[in-house]
A = this chain, B = another copy of it.
Amino acid sequence: MKQLGIIGAGRIGRVHAESISRMAAAAVKTLADPFMSPEIEKWAAQLGVDKCVKDYKEIIADPAIDGVLICSPTDTHADISLEAIAAGKHVFCEKPVSQKLDEILAVKKALAASPNIKYLVGFNRRFDHNFKAARAAVEQGKVGEQHIVRITSRDPGPPPIEYIKVSGGLFMDMTIHDFDMLRYLTGSEVDEVFVRAANKVDPAIGQAGDIDTAVITLTMKNSVIAIIENSRKAAYGYDQRVEVFGSKGMVSIGNDAPSTAVISTEDGVTGEKPLHFFLERYMDAYVQEARDFVTAIENDTPVPVGIEDGLQSVLIAMACALSHKESRAVKMSEIG
């Protein structure tokens, strides 16, 4: 049974703790959080977590721990990754690895020197049933040669302004998932981006220097033309759709809803809104993601999404930021 440490007991750290506590093949030995509290300790104990600590370095230093899940704030991801790698531990790192290119490259370099370390980057949508079905259709040749890929990705509402300010901006914080999804679906790298974006949802976001609405045209190296549509606020809820169009047809995925109930009255025929947000929508994907991390460790197989994916998605976010700033198409070769 693999022994794991979780660094960060926030929302996503707790999700992973619950997933792992249900696995036969792994256990959470230690949970670390500088704001560790009796409430968290009680909750952790019920899950069967061995130990709760404030300092994540106890996890790094523990020779019994095989792997760590880094669920701390983004600006700590890279440093903790380097420490964990140095200590010979497998790493599951939440996205993004870093907002700073040199930090990601440092992690990449460290991993190149430690080929036995598994390093999974938490692009949870790759583990979702709908996105997997889209990719499966593509792989089975159902759409033929890909021509146009469209990703619609809209949140039910913006995060707090304080979060926006340190988020790295829309592209780094939110669209980064879509960049990764695009690479996953097309099996190709981005060649060029063109952004049109605006502050439409909340003026405070604009005052914080960020945008909340974006349309991005991306040209892939394999010549697929792609579109990403983003909004920080869809009144009807979390909107996560994809359409892959090609020479033989199209695969499209829609949203998941709380139920299939449809109510027909004199006012119309009404179904449910999409599941509210990422925790509801991707809960099964988070479980699968943690399971795949453990499986990669157990069987010494490659992780399904790694440091190169973490790197590329950040590079694309940087290209988009530049395209937005300079109001022009930007080649990926200009970045990094």
Whether A229 is near chain B, meaning CB under 8 Å from some CB there, is yes
- Asked if A273 and B263 make an inter-chain contact with CB atoms under 8 angstroms apart, the answer reads no
A295 within 8 A of B: no
B266–A269 CB distance below 8 A: no
A147 touches B213 (CB 8 A): yes
The answer to whether B272 touches A249 (Cβ under 8 A) is no
Given A133-B272, A215-B148, A225-B198: A249 touches B261 (CB 8 Å cut-off): no
User: Chain B residues near A239 (CB, 8 Å)?
Assistant: 250
A262 touches B258 (CB 8 A): no
B148 touches A229 (CB 8 A): yes
Cα(A130)–Cα(B249), bound, Å: 23
Name the contact of A217 in the complex, choosing from B217, B256, B267 (C-beta under 8 A).
Answer: B217
Q: Which of A127-168 contact B (CB under 8 A)?
A: 129-130, 132-134, 137, 142-145, 147-148, 150, 154
Residues from chain B with Cβ under 8 Å of A260 in the complex? 130, 133, 253-256
Contacts of A266 in B (CB 8 A): 235-236, 248-249, 273
Tell me if A194 is interfacial: C-beta within 8 Å of chain B.
yes
**A182-224, CB < 8 A from B:** 194, 196-198, 200-201, 213-215, 217, 219, 223
Q: How far is the CB of A166 from chain B (nearest CB, A)?
A: 25
Q: How far is the CA of A258 from the CA of B263 in the complex (A)?
A: 18
Q: Does A22 have its Cβ within 8 Å of any Cβ on chain B?
A: yes
Q: Is A327 part of the binding interface, using a Cβ–Cβ cutoff of 8 Å? A: yes
Query: Is A264 an interface residue, CB under 8 A from the partner?
Result: yes
Question: In the assembly, what is the distance between CA of A148 and CA of B132, in Å?
Answer: 27
Structural contact, B250 and A236, CB atoms closer than 8 A: yes
| Bound CA–CA A144/B200 (angstroms) | 12
Are A250 and B264 neighbours in the complex by a CB distance under 8 Å? Answer: yes
